Structure 1
Amino acid sequence: MNTIQVIESIAINPDIRKGRPYILGTTLTVADVAIAKIYHGLDVDGIADWYGLALPQVYAALAYYYDHKDEIDLQIRDQIRRAETFKEKRVGSENAFLS
């Protein structure tokens, strides 16, 4: 007998994390996990340890990422752009606290 099992660890709710896909039971987005792997070079064990996740949660997030790579990459680029804009406004402007 063949059995199909669906692991539902990723959710999307417009009221949580601005509608970005996140890991159920956490506030972590799929993009957070993808950033840890791609930009910080963490392996699945490292991601699990860093964020306090179970391995199935990490694998589910990465599977979702690779299934929706273009969409999540766009979210990551937007997140980086917003961080750079915030940094420029807070650190590099004449209104910065440290100037």
Structure 2
Amino acid sequence: MPVLKTDYEHIVLNANGTPVIVGTSMKVTQLLLEKTAYGWSPEELYFQHPYLTLGQIYSALAYYWDHQEELDQEIERRLEFVNRVQQTMGVSPLFQRLKARGLM
């Protein structure tokens, strides 16, 4: 898969132009969303993803902060896509069964 180097040692742009951590399929936005959703520190991200180094994690976070507006727009586009798909698909049969049993 062709990649483009960036000014960040551990970050490349994949074939889709998405920033990922070198040698992994971990997207910068994926790491950031985990940090935001769970309130994880870089050290906790490292604990949760032991195949990453702290250097890779800090590089990904630095890339995000230097490209925040662009990446926030990408996150928003993906969220809108998920919402559209959910609206078209409707409620899943599994969700309906779980709700009927009082599990949701």
Is the pair's TM-score, using the shorter chain for normalization, greater than 0.5?
yes
- What corresponds to 2:88 in structure 1? 89
Q: Is the 8 A contact 2:8 2:63 kept in 1?
A: no
Give how far 1:50 is off.
2.0
1:13 aligned to 2:14?
Answer: yes
* Contact 1:48 1:58 (8 Å CA) reproduced: yes
SS of 1:22's equivalent in the other structure is strand
Residue 49 and residue 90 in structure 1: after superposition, are their counterparts in 2 closer, same or farther (change >3 A)?
Answer: farther
TM-score by length of 1: 0.75
**Residue 3 of structure 1 corresponds to which residue in structure 2?**
none
C-alpha distance in 1, partners of 2:12/2:25?
A: 11
2:49 aligned with 1:63, yes or no? Answer: no
Instruction: Normalising by structure 2, report the TM-score.
Output: 0.72
- Closer, same or farther in 2 for the Cα pair 1:41/1:13, shift >3 Å? same
The residue aligned with 2:45 is 47
The C-alpha deviation readout for 1:31-85, integer Å capped at 9, x for no partner, is 1111111232111112122233211111000000000000110111112112222
What are structure 1's unaligned runs of at least 5 residues? 1-5
Gapped runs of 5+ residues in structure 2? 1-6, 97-104
The number of aligned residues is: 88
Identity %: 30
Q: Paired residue for 2:29?
A: 31
Secondary structure in structure 2 of the residue aligned to 1:19: coil
Structure 2 counterpart of 1:78, one-letter code? R
Taking only aligned residues, the RMSD between alpha carbons, in angstroms, comes to 2.0
Structure 1 residues 70 and 7, CA gap change in structure 2 (3 angstroms): closer
